[in-house]
Structure 1
């Protein structure tokens, strides 16, 4: 059966998408720095250069906008790490050697490190996520079930594989959390980190090298 050709996006549709994206960007910045309660939808609308009813039109209400921010974070992280994550999952189904697990762990975590340090918006995202970790709110379940839990489990299984084990225990999961948290700190604390380093330092490259050395030092 032939499918009808896709209708090109109209200028009005494109403007609508652009407005929605500006609202999300402004909301991520506001929620990341101030939290759900303190952030003002009026200020978010002003930063996004839209009128206040636009937030209601696209997101329903303030909590709907907050949840949309969480969904945006999850989908963006997933897209950035998809190839490395899928490769690691395939490796784990093939009874891999410790060195293969070590290599896949390095690929996965350096991919995450480069994304977090190189992307422009990750500081706001990291602050948003940290707030939900410190004080669970409406977005906690979205972030836990679709971001934290899958990520921690994958890293934990790779760590277990490095040590020749088929499954991780509680200590290995804590180790996975520690490794991931160490990388995410470079996104939320980038302004302070830059002051410790010479001007022009390629932070992403330096962080990836550090991650690779840490993984190489893991005892089998």
Structure 2
């Protein structure tokens, strides 16, 4: 006899959708007003739910804030997974082929451009993340440990491998940090960058131009081995 679907499946899906709506509204509110300035009542209204339902899902404003940081991390990881996994696997094998490392570095930066420059969600994340960078709060450690530090170190290791340089080189880490920092121009600095470039929007053509520029920088970094040899 065929089994009936679980009775709570629809309830679970609805609950998950409600959480996502609240998180999306909260990320925007926290980006605009910070933890102290944002109101859970306003967040609930923006999400189209009542405040008791927000409290049911998240318990407190502090807990909601941390859940927003976790949601940003999860969504970012999903967008970067296809480029991150082969890079991690390559580096786990030890110092390998320089050309392969160079190609993987290009792919990683391409994915970063795709996620941060082209992705509309990144514009919502930017304000939240920028606040934690400028005025570290409860989410700083989470973002540092799961995003900033490992992302920079992965990029630095690929730079070292592509150069065939010292695995412990501090200079490669600095180069990685500055390379990734270029993306800030199109996240928290998006409006300024568009005005400077005279772009009314950032569509496929503009993303392609950014990608070409980042690729040139990657190629220059990999070619510049004189400082570390």
Same fold by TM-score greater than 0.5: yes
Work out whether residues 185 and 193 of structure 2, in 8 Å CA contact, stay in contact via their aligned partners in 1: no
- Structure 1: distance between partners of 2:176 and 2:193: 22
- 197-206 vs 168-177, which moves further: 197-206
Work out whether residues 89 and 154 of structure 1, in 8 Å CA contact, stay in contact via their aligned partners in 2: yes
Residue matched to 1:206: 209
- Structure 1: distance between partners of 2:12 and 2:88: 38
- Structure 1: distance between partners of 2:217 and 2:174: 16
Residue matched to 2:163: 163
Work out whether residues 98 and 161 of structure 1, in 8 Å CA contact, stay in contact via their aligned partners in 2: yes
- SS of aligned partner of 2:96: coil
Equivalent positions of 1:24-39 (< 5 A) are 24-39=23-38
Structure 1 residues 53-88: Cα deviation after superposition (integer angstroms, max 9, x where no partner): 122101110010000001101111111111211111
Equivalent positions of 1:33-48 (< 5 A) are 33-48=32-47
The structure-2 alpha-carbon separation of the partners of 1:5 and 1:111, relative to structure 1 and needing over 3 Å to count, comes to: farther
Pairwise CA distance, 1:150: 1.0
Report the count of equivalent residues.
Answer: 217
Work out whether residues 123 and 187 of structure 1, in 8 Å CA contact, stay in contact via their aligned partners in 2: yes
Gaps of 5+ in 1: none
Residue matched to 1:197: 198
Structure 1 residues 108-128: Cα deviation after superposition (integer angstroms, max 9, x where no partner): 011011111222221121221
The structure-2 alpha-carbon separation of the partners of 1:165 and 1:76, relative to structure 1 and needing over 3 Å to count, comes to: same
Residue matched to 2:13: 14
Pairwise CA distance, 1:188: 2.1
The structure-2 alpha-carbon separation of the partners of 1:8 and 1:150, relative to structure 1 and needing over 3 Å to count, comes to: farther
- 34-43 vs 56-65, which moves further: 34-43
Residue matched to 2:121: 121
- Structure 2: distance between partners of 1:183 and 1:71: 21
Aligned-residue CA RMSD (Å):
2.0
- 157-166 vs 41-50, which moves further: 157-166
Residue matched to 2:111: 111
1:153 is aligned to 2:153: yes
The structure-2 alpha-carbon separation of the partners of 1:82 and 1:23, relative to structure 1 and needing over 3 Å to count, comes to: same
- 24-33 vs 159-168, which moves further: 159-168
- 188-197 vs 32-41, which moves further: 188-197
Structure 1 residues 38-57: Cα deviation after superposition (integer angstroms, max 9, x where no partner): 11111111111111112210
Gaps of 5+ in 2: none
- 91-100 vs 117-126, which moves further: 91-100
Work out whether residues 98 and 162 of structure 2, in 8 Å CA contact, stay in contact via their aligned partners in 1: yes
Work out whether residues 156 and 168 of structure 1, in 8 Å CA contact, stay in contact via their aligned partners in 2: no
Pairwise CA distance, 1:9: 6.0
Pairwise CA distance, 1:90: 1.6
Residue matched to 1:141: 141
Work out whether residues 157 and 166 of structure 1, in 8 Å CA contact, stay in contact via their aligned partners in 2: no
